A and B are shown apart, each in its own frame.
Chain A
Amino acid sequence: MNDWMRKVFESKRAARQQLRALSFSEKVKLLEKLRDRSLAIARSPLRVRQHQKI
């Protein structure tokens, strides 16, 4: 693994640790945002068209 990759992994690990350290209430707010976005993506016409092709 080169230095650049190592830095990327370290930064990801640090970001995940920060998220883990949030309170449950704060995490639940993020869950709600993630859910809203997942639903918006699922409803997107592009996604629907793609799904119909399959």
Chain B
Amino acid sequence: MKGTLEVINEMQAEGVIGQYAIGGAVGATFYLEPSATLDIDIFVTLENPQGSSLVTLAPVYDYLRSRGFKTEKEHVIIEGWPVQFLPAAGALEEEALEQAVETEVEGVRTRVMTGEHLVAIALRTGRAKDFARILQFVESGILDAARLDSILKRHGLVEKWEQFEVKFLRGNE
């Protein structure tokens, strides 16, 4: 993954992408025990093409293809890892990118979303594996409850959290 992150940092240095942060299962691994995943989710800010209000990933794919990286469905295989680039399309993702944590993988600098933002995004995505990840976070005791609470309130996720609590947490009390 070191090589993958080096390429992503080069993309940022060359202006292909703006700010970025690792999310998803790899992002969660920064805080939790590792669990099997097949790809890396990279949330990015992108410039809109001139005269357009639509964000497109085309420049990202074009750049990577020009460097010889292959695409597989929505992934680009970079140094052995399938990478999915996800534009920070909403306020939650934008905030998660702004507040991401700086870290390193084998000496290569990178950024990872905060645990609270990873939980909020997983809650909104709402697949079974997302709920399992939230439970891992809750069980680990590493979440800042006040911070999570304010994120959930800011992004209209309080009701979803209450439903999650009823379904997965209150039965354990």
* A19 and B30 contact, Cβ closer than 8 Å, known pairs A24-B103, A28-B105: no
Interface residues on B, range: 10 to 19
The residues of A that contact B38 with a CB separation of less than 8 Å are 35, 38-39
C-alpha gap A54/B23 in the complex (Å): 33
The interface residues of chain B lying within 8 Å CB-to-CB of A34 are 34-37
CB distance B35 to A20 under 8 Å? no
Find out whether the CB atom of B33 lies under 8 angstroms from the CB atom of A31: no
A27 interface contact, C-beta 8 A: yes
Contact (Cβ within 8 A) A38 B140: no
- Label chain A's interface by main secondary structure: helix
Contact status A24-B1, CB under 8 Å: no
Supposing A19-B34, A20-B140, A38-B36 touch, asked if A31 and B104 sit within 8 A by C-beta, the answer is: no
**CB neighbours of B131 from chain A (8 A):** none
When each residue 3-18 of chain A gets 1 if its CB lies under 8 Å from chain B and 0 otherwise, what string results? Answer: 0000000000000100
Q: How far is the CA of A28 from the CA of B24 in the complex (A)?
A: 14
Number of interface residues of A (CB under 8 A): 15
Contact B37 A28 (CB under 8 A): no
Known interface pairs A20-B140, A24-B29; A31-B34 also in contact (CB < 8 Å): yes
Q: Is B144 interfacial (CB-CB < 8 Å)? A: no
Determine how close the nearest CB of chain A comes to the CB of B30; give it in whole angstroms. 5
A25 touches which one: B35, B106, B140 (CB < 8 A)? Answer: B106
Shortest 10 CB-CB distances between A and B: which pairs?
A19-B33, A34-B36, A30-B34, A16-B33, A27-B34, A31-B34, A25-B106, A38-B36, A27-B29, A28-B1
